[in-house]
Amino acid sequence: MGDYGRPLEFGYFLVPDADDPLLDLARAADRAGLDLIGVQDHPYQRRYVDTWTLLSMIAAVTDRVRVFPDVANLPLRPPAVLAKAAASLDALSGGRAELGLGGGGFPEAVEAFGGPRRTPKETADALAEAVTVIREVWSGGRNLRFEGDHYRLKGAKAGPVPAHRIELWLGTGGPRGLALTGRAADGWLPSSSWATPDKLPALHARIDEAAVAAGRDPADVRRLYNVNGTITDGASDGFLRGPASQWADELTDLAVGSGMDSFILWAEGDQETQLKRFAEEVVPTVRAQVAQERAT
C-alpha cells in the first residue's frame, strides 16, 4: 500500500431526498468541474426518489460529469437488468455512466421491500455471480449462459453495448468481497464512516493480495472514498471536520500515504455551500499538493 499513482478524481455524494433541490445540486457539481456524482440506493427509504430515475435525470441536465449509483442495492436490482440499465444510461449520456455495486445492507428493509434476506456468505456469493452476469450482459453477446445459485442467464441476448467501458466498483468490506474486488472489479468504493483511515492498510492488503493472485497489478484497481464531514471556518473538530486547509492536507495524505485516488464529498450541513467550498478551496489544493509530493 501507499500511493498507487493513479490520477485523482473528485465527486459529490448526492443523497436522493425528494425534498431537496436534487437537480440544482447536480448542475452545481457539473459547473464546479467535479468528475463524478454518486447517488446512494435505498429503495425502501420512503423519503428518497428512485436512484436510477434520478441518475437518468442528472445525466440529462448536465454536460460532463459522470454518474453512478453509490452503491446499487443488488438484492433489489437483478444484475442482468441492472447491467442493461447502466449500459442504456451510458449510451444515452455519451459514455458518462459507471456502476457502483454492493451486496445490500439493511437486510430487514430489503426483505420488507420484497428482496431476499441473505446470510453473509450468500451475500458474497451473490455479488460474485452478479459481477459475472453484468460483464456478460455488457459484452453485447447472444445466447449468454450462466448458472449460479442466485442468478442465471439462459440464452440471453444482450444490448445495447455501453458507449464506453463502464467501470464496475464494489462497495465491499468483508474478506470475500475484498478478494472479489481484487480479482474482478475495476474499483473499490468504501465510505470513511466505516472504512476509517486506520483500517485502510489491512483492507487494501486483501485487495492487493487477490489482485496479484489473479495476475493483476493492484494499481489497476481504482480506490474511491466517500468522505463524510464538514468544511468549516473554525478549528479542527476531528477528521474531515475543519477548515479547507485541513481537508486538503488530510485528502493529500490519503492519496499519497493511504492509497485512495478518488474522493466523493459526502457533506453535512448546507449542501450548496459545502459543494462550492470543496470544489473551489479543497480540490485544487489537493491536486497541487499530490503533484508536488509525487514529483519529490
Q: What is the pLDDT of residue 1?
A: 66
Q: What is the pLDDT of residue 105?
A: 86
Cβ burial of 246 (10 Å; 0-12, 13-18, 19+) is buried
pTM score over 0.85: yes
d(CA 116, CA 94): 34
Q: What is the pLDDT of residue 34?
A: 98
Sign of the CA dihedral running 79, 170, 12, 42: positive
Q: Tens of pLDDT along 165-223?
A: 999 999 999 999 999 999 999 999 999 999 999 999 999 999 999 999 999 999 999 99
d(CA 27, CA 21): 10
Q: Which residues of the chain have pLDDT under 70?
A: 1
Topology classification of domain 9-295: TIM Barrel (3.20.20)
- Domain boundary assignment for the chain: 9-295
47 CB-near residues (< 8 Å, 6+ apart): 17, 18, 19
Residue that is written with C-alpha cell 475495476 in the block: 186
